[in-house]
Amino acid sequence: MDENMMRRCCEQKLQIGKTVPGVKLEGYYKGEMKDFSLEDYEGKWIVLFFYPLDFTFVCPTEVVGISERHSEFEELNAQVLGISVDSVFSHEAWCKELGDLNYPLLSDLTKQVSRDYNVLLEDKGMTTRATFIISPDGILKSIMVNEHDVGRNVDELLRVVKAFQTGELCPMNWKKGKETLGKA
């Protein structure tokens, strides 16, 4: 990476309402290892979620739970991508144990993407449980972060994507089919 590119990368700040940093990582999906990037899903909503590590206690409940509901994300024109600091070989071994997932698991072995998204716990060498909802034009709409002990709620992830897709102001506990507060 040349000096100018390095400076631009370091200056880029992750912020709601701004374009997200690029992601290009090797991943594992249904028996295949290949490169994945956010650009591969241009025109789609992206639910990018970081999880601490493969072969842990809470992570499989999330990874499998999100996979079981993947068709609901697809109906919303949303692509789910999971990221951890494990290798693609670890993802492959884990998927043999868990079964095929309905979305790719990406490997951030260098931890650079985790740093770019400010979710890396440097002292532990792993990430928090963080979810980023990104609009089809690459704008960050939502950040949700949990410590390791508590998993995500798939119903809430789906609700938030649906709310952003209205383009309107959505009150607390809003659900699809309910009244919004009008244009944002």
* pTM to 2 decimal places: 0.89
Domain spans of the chain, in order of start: 17-166
DSSP lists the bridge partners of residue 144 as 131
**pLDDT band for position 149 (50/70/90)?**
confident
Catalytic residue check, 59: yes
pLDDT value, residue 12? 55
Residue 131: which of 150, 147, 116, 144 has the closest Cα?
A: 144
Write out the two tokens for 157.
Answer: 């992830």
pLDDT classification of 66: cutoffs 50, 70, 90: very high
Degrees to nearest 5, angle at CA 32 with 26 and 33: 20
Give me 44's structure tokens: 């789609």
The amino acid at residue 179 is E
**1: confidence class by pLDDT, cuts 50, 70, 90:** very low
In whole angstroms, give the CA distance from residue 48 to residue 132: 5
Architecture of domain 17-166: 3-Layer(aba) Sandwich (3.40)
Catalytic: which of 9, 59, 95, 170?
59
82: CB partners within 8 A, 6+ apart: 49, 50, 51, 63, 66, 101, 103, 104, 105, 106
Strand, helix or coil for residue 157: helix
